[in-house]
Amino acid sequence: GDSVTQMEGPVTLSEEAFLTINCTYTATGYPSLFWYVQYPGEGLQLLLKATKADDKGSNKGFEATYRKETTSFHLEKGSVQVSDSAVYFCALRSGSSNTGKLIFGQGTTLQVKP
């Protein structure tokens, strides 16, 4: 079945460092891909999305490109801030899904130190 694998955390960076959180997926057909962010004690917020191969999603300085050839959707940011400290979830929705169900990775905790 479909699945999502994220890099293990926690990831600890200094402020203004470059961020990459790896995400790879297994799916049949043409899934849509998402990154969600969860700040402490809160629900998940949609960060960005991509619905077809080579699409680049971007928001708040974060970017991710839908790479079908490598089945990846890595999250990047050029210069992280302390306020980016959170848990990041990669997710996919099957292209054939009519229920809207998402499959989530296990989440990656990011800690940014001043």
Partner 1 sequence: SQTIHQWPATLVQPVGSPLSLECTVEGTSNPNLYWYRQAAGRGLQLLFYSVGIGQISSEVPQNLSASRPQDRQFILSSKKLLLSDSGFYLCAWTRQAREQYFGPGTRLTVT
46 binds partner 1 (CB under 8 A): yes
Burial class (CB in 10 A: 0-12, 13-18, 19+), 91: buried
49 binds partner 1 (CB under 8 A): yes
Q: How far apart are the C-alpha atoms of 72 and 111, rounded to whole Å? A: 23
Tell me if 23 sits within 8 A of 104, measured CB to CB.
Answer: no
Residue of 42, 69, 70, 114 interacting with partner 1 (CB under 8 A): 42
57 binds partner 1 (CB under 8 A): no
Q: How many residues bind partner 1 (CB under 8 A)?
A: 22
Q: Which residues contact 99 (CB under 8 A, 6 or more apart)?
A: none
3 binds partner 1 (CB under 8 A): no
Shortest distance, CB of residue 99 to partner 1, whole angstroms?
Answer: 6
Q: Which residues contact 14 (CB under 8 A, 6 or more apart)?
A: 112, 113, 114
As a whole number of Å, the end-to-end CA separation of the chain is 41
Q: Give the residue with the Cβ less far from partner 1, 14 or 53.
A: 53
Interface characters, 86-105, with partner 1 (x: CB under 8 A): ---x---x---xxxxxx-xx
Binding positions for partner 1, rule: CB under 8 A? 32, 34, 36, 41-46, 49, 89, 93, 97-102, 104-107
